[in-house]
């Protein structure tokens, strides 16, 4: 488990390390990575896990206070590679060029967005390799039960966004909590 940033309260930190988060992190950490973008890096927990493995990683989020926590989390956990954190909207990543990243991770983000298809298109634009997307399974963590969630997807909807963005699905599955859709961008 990572050391806790002093910028985050104990209750939130414990939540970020509950069993379902740990299981999702473990599945994502098994995947191949190169230069990586984590979309919606929030408190920087997964970004820091990648950096501790020596992966060059950039985390983006739209909330400045979360970027401060993420940077502190990475700093106190002495990542092998120091991650970069940027204030950026996934639906309009104007500061990131086409095909910049080998891998993009978008985990527990799309359910917060009014235009998730636009976000997936932007992810496809900045990625030159693999895209890993996770969302809560349909009926779990619904907009009625979780503040901030405005979408409730079945896995096939995410597959549709991925395919519409020109990505090829390489794996899709569900566990007790999450739907996973892994894809790749054809080399151009």
Domain ranges in the chain are 20-185
Q: Which H, E and C letters describe the chain, residue by residue?
A: CCCCCCCCCHHHHHHCCCHHHHHHHHHHHCCCCCCEEEECCCCCHHHHHHHHCCCCEEEEECCHHHHHHHHHHHHHCCCCCCCEEEECCCCCCCCCCCCCEEEEEEECCHHHCCCHHHHHHHHHHHEEEEEEEEEECCCCCCCCCCCCCCCCCCHHHHHHHHHHCCEEEEEEEECCCEEEEEEEECCC
Query: Per residue in 133-186, pLDDT tens?
Result: 999 999 999 999 989 999 999 999 999 999 999 999 999 999 999 999 999 997
Residue 144, φ and ψ in degrees, nearest 5: -75, -25
CA gap 82, 80 in Å, rounded: 6
Q: What is the pTM of this model?
A: 0.94
Least confidently predicted of 2-6, 119-123, 145-149, 162-166: 2-6
Asked if 119 and 91 touch (Cβ cutoff 8 Å), the reply is yes
CA distance 167 to 150: 24
The CATH number given to 20-185 is: 3.40.50.150
How confident is the model at residue 33, as a pLDDT? 97
pLDDT of residue 9: 83
Q: Supply the pLDDT for residue 188.
A: 46
Model confidence over 36-91: pLDDT tens digits? 999 999 999 999 999 999 999 999 999 999 999 999 999 999 877 899 999 999 99
């Amino acid at each position: 488990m990572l050391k806790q940033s002093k910028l985050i309260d104990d209750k939130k930190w414990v939540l970020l390390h509950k069993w379902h988060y740990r299981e999702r992190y473990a599945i994502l950490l098994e995947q191949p990575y190169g230069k990586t973008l984590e979309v919606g890096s929030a408190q920087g927990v997964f970004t820091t896990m990648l950096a501790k493995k020596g992966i060059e990683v950039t985390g983006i989020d739209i909330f400045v206070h979360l970027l401060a926590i993420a940077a502190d989390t990475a700093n106190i956990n002495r990542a092998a590679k120091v991650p970069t954190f940027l204030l950026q909207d996934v639906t309009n990543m104007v500061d990131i060029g086409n095909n910049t990243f080998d891998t993009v991770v978008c985990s527990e983000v799309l359910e917060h967005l009014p235009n998730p298809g636009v976000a997936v298109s932007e992810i496809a634009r900045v990625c030159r390799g693999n895209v890993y997307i996770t969302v809560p399974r349909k009926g779990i963590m619904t907009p009625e039960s979780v503040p901030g969630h405005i979408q409730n997807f079945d896995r096939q909807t995410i597959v549709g966004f991925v395919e519409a963005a020109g990505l090829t699905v390489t794996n899709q599955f569900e566990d007790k909590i999450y739907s996973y859709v892994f894809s790749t961008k054809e080399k151009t």
